[in-house]
Structure 1
Amino acid sequence: MNNTNESCLPIAQPMSIPVLMCLVSFIGFIQNVFSLWVFCCRLSSWSAGTVLQFNLALSDTLATPVTPLIAVYFLMGNNWTFGQFLCQVKIALMSSHFYGSTIFLTLISVHRYTAVAHFNKSSRMKNKRFIMKLCAGVWLLLLAQSVVYCFVVPQTKVGNHPQCLSFSQRTLSNSMFVINFVLFLFGFLLPLSISASCYFRLTNILTRLNTSTPKGLKVKLKSQRMIRMCLVIFGVCFLPMNVTRMIAAVLTKYFPHHCDTVHQVQTAYYASWVVAGLNCCLDLLLYCFGSQNFRDAFPSWKKSPTDYQQRSESETTANY
């Protein structure tokens, strides 16, 4: 591998990575468009849980506009030819997509736990107006971290190769290490810990729940499936990406001239983007588990609008 005084020169990525990335992105885009259509056009009333699920679907769509640019970037041998502005747009949308998903998944877990653990008590997590304000705050937070990320990690040249968010950017190794450590800690480990805590505490509560009645059994199964699905998405989709990126950041900072290892880990990191993109596909299962109204929307065109509205209104309380 070629070395410079600053970094290892970038290498082309396997053809399978951009192809699979575009395929997963396309499938996820279709599913998210369908989910957003159901939320906006087929549900006559929204609960607090529906608001969270809608925002999760919205965050899932953010990476779609820049996926073709990333694919072309890989196909051109890791040469970013689209300029500084589109590089910043790519970073902003990708980071908001990944960490918006983790935050909203965590809020869904907390909401589900609150709905069951404090079933007979008032809670702000069951208040739709509060949840809407909370989601607005999350989007402001995502905007702030995107702006910081864009300006801390700008487009640079490595040799004659323009780079955008690449571990070949040796001059940015300190900045990338710090921001990746912060995102790994607060954007992944903390949300994962909160979701896992909600799951185990909810499991303990549900063991004492009366499941002899259909309603009690339904609440138990629905709640367990929802939070379990959140944990599956964390573990399957986001764990590989966050771990490999943190390893790459450490290698770039402390072992910058081990080019073979840096390139292998960076390829693994880009491959983990494909796996992380699967969360867009898995989230549709989460909406089906979490909302009776969403499930009823599939055959809803067979019902009259009046019947659908009456059923939706009668189940809003149960769905939270």
Structure 2
Amino acid sequence: MVVSLGTRLSHRNKDMGNTQVQPPEEAYCNLDTREGLPVVQLYVMPSFFLAVLILGLPLNLLSLWVFIHRLRRWTRSTVFLFNLTLADTSWLLALPFLIHYHLGQLYWSLGLPFCTTVRMLYHNYFYLSIFFVTCISVDRYLAIVHPLRSLMLLGRRQTCVLCVVVWVAALVLSIPVAKMTMIQTCPESNRTVCALYILLSGTGETLPYSLLCSIIGFIFPLLSICYCGLRSVGELRRRPCRPDPHNKQRRLRRVLSVALVLFALFYLPYHLIRNAAIVMRAVYPDNPASWRPADLAFALEMCICSLITCVNPLFSCFIGRQFKREFRVTFAVLFPKCPGMQVASMISKQTRMKVRKRQRMATVSPVCALPAPRS
């Protein structure tokens, strides 16, 4: 009686603090390296995250510098690409804590609030990436199919408001992660882990939430991209005789191809494997051994999805001509010994000289004028 009362009091004291003690999950407490999941969690994931941090953080910081200091004319796509880079950078700044967590044998010592913040950042960033890629595709659709109406629908102020709405929508979509994220204590090692809601045994909340996020955050954006792409291609094919000085058709094909590649390589496998991991827990609640293949696949998919932060700067270069030019020039200044960077710098200088020459010619008034006709 006294022991049980003391146990209840200890649990109550822990619940009153920042740590919630819940039944431990095998996915975090079993670190037997003879199995696949512990090997991925202890060695593969921190290696991937560290490589992504080393490569992705300089690329995104350089991209932000180019956006802020080098681009003089901002289009709607430029605003969306800037927000996409900002989302990448925010998640990369939280990545060192995950690296420390996985290198430290899955021991979390920073408390529940920080555990919740890190888990929410990953979830929030993932859907921010999807939403902004969708915004870029919709922007190209409006510019081609409804060019005049798009100026009224998406002016500079409306574009900024839309970006704020996207940030708020992704945050609202990630709020349930805060409720489902918990800190668990493994009984054998007394090790504290930062549990991810996808790998929890209880699926009463996780499965509906995961399916809802898949519908709102993946299926709707994918359908929107497909619809905008088909309508835009159809509109361009209806006017084949018209000149295309801005290469709209080629730029549209670029946007569609890159967006569909991102969805096929990163977003689609992530949602399929995430839902499969939760469904296996719902179908076989008393057989943890049947969960391991899906858990292993999801852990590997988390590694692959972290590469998006390195791909998005290349996406910005592929989509924006002005950003690509300024990015190459800035990169050439920072790394002049890289092959091809001197050529890129010379080409950019020649291009700037031509632009300045055209501006001077456009502003200079003629010296001689024709005489006025005599009456």
TM-score (norm 2): 0.73
The gaps in structure 1 that reach 5 residues or longer are 314-320
CA RMSD of aligned residues (A): 2.9
- Pair 1:80 & 2:108 matched: yes
Partner residue in 2 for 1:182: 212
Describe the SS at the equivalent of 1:81.
coil
Partner residue in 2 for 1:193: 223
- Separation in 2, partners of 1:23, 1:256: 36
* Worse-matched range after superposition: 42-51 or 68-77: 68-77
- Pair 1:263 & 2:292 matched: yes
The Cα of 1:9 is off from its aligned counterpart by: 5.1
- Pair 1:242 & 2:260 matched: no
Conserved 8 A contact 2:198-2:274: no
Q: Kindly name which structure, 1 or 2, has the bigger radius of gyration based on alpha carbons.
A: 2
Describe the SS at the equivalent of 1:207.
helix
The gaps in structure 2 that reach 5 residues or longer are 1-22, 31-37, 331-344, 360-375
Conserved 8 A contact 2:199-2:277: no
Q: How do residues 52-201 of structure 1 correspond to structure 2 at under 5 angstroms? A: 52-157=80-185, 159=187, 160-161=190-191, 162-170=193-201, 172-201=202-231
Residues 100 and 211 of structure 1, relative CA distance in 2, 3 Å threshold: farther
Residues 284 and 82 of structure 1, relative CA distance in 2, 3 Å threshold: same
Residues 151 and 303 of structure 1, relative CA distance in 2, 3 Å threshold: same
The one-letter code matched in structure 2 to 1:26 is I
Partner residue in 1 for 2:362: none
Partner residue in 2 for 1:316: none
The one-letter code matched in structure 2 to 1:253 is A
Partner residue in 2 for 1:317: none
- Separation in 2, partners of 1:304, 1:41: 20
The Cα of 1:186 is off from its aligned counterpart by: 0.8
- Pair 1:207 & 2:225 matched: no
Residues 212 and 140 of structure 1, relative CA distance in 2, 3 Å threshold: closer
The one-letter code matched in structure 2 to 1:293 is Q
Flag the structure with more relative contact order, 1 or 2, with Cα contacts below 8 A and sequence separation at least 6: 1
Conserved 8 A contact 1:63-1:97: yes
The one-letter code matched in structure 2 to 1:67 is L
Describe the SS at the equivalent of 1:261.
helix
Q: Tell me which of 11, 18, 36 is aligned to 2:64.
A: 36
Per-residue deviation, residues 48-107 of structure 1 (Å, max 9, x unmatched): 111111011111122212323223333444443332021111112111110100011111
Conserved 8 A contact 1:91-1:146: no
Residues 134 and 44 of structure 1, relative CA distance in 2, 3 Å threshold: same
TM-score (norm 1): 0.85
Describe the SS at the equivalent of 1:174.
coil
Q: What is the aligned-residue identity percentage?
A: 25
- Separation in 2, partners of 1:64, 1:51: 20
Conserved 8 A contact 1:56-1:101: yes
Describe the SS at the equivalent of 1:44.
coil
The one-letter code matched in structure 2 to 1:156 is Q
Q: Tell me which of 275, 284, 292 is aligned to 2:313.
A: 284
Describe the SS at the equivalent of 2:173.
helix
- Separation in 2, partners of 1:202, 1:42: 31
The Cα of 1:7 is off from its aligned counterpart by: 5.1
Describe the SS at the equivalent of 1:63.
helix
- Separation in 1, partners of 2:126, 2:85: 12
- Separation in 1, partners of 2:27, 2:300: 19
The one-letter code matched in structure 1 to 2:228 is C
Q: How many residues align?
A: 307
- Separation in 1, partners of 2:58, 2:351: 25
Per-residue deviation, residues 181-238 of structure 1 (Å, max 9, x unmatched): 111111111111211222222222222233674516x110011111220111111011
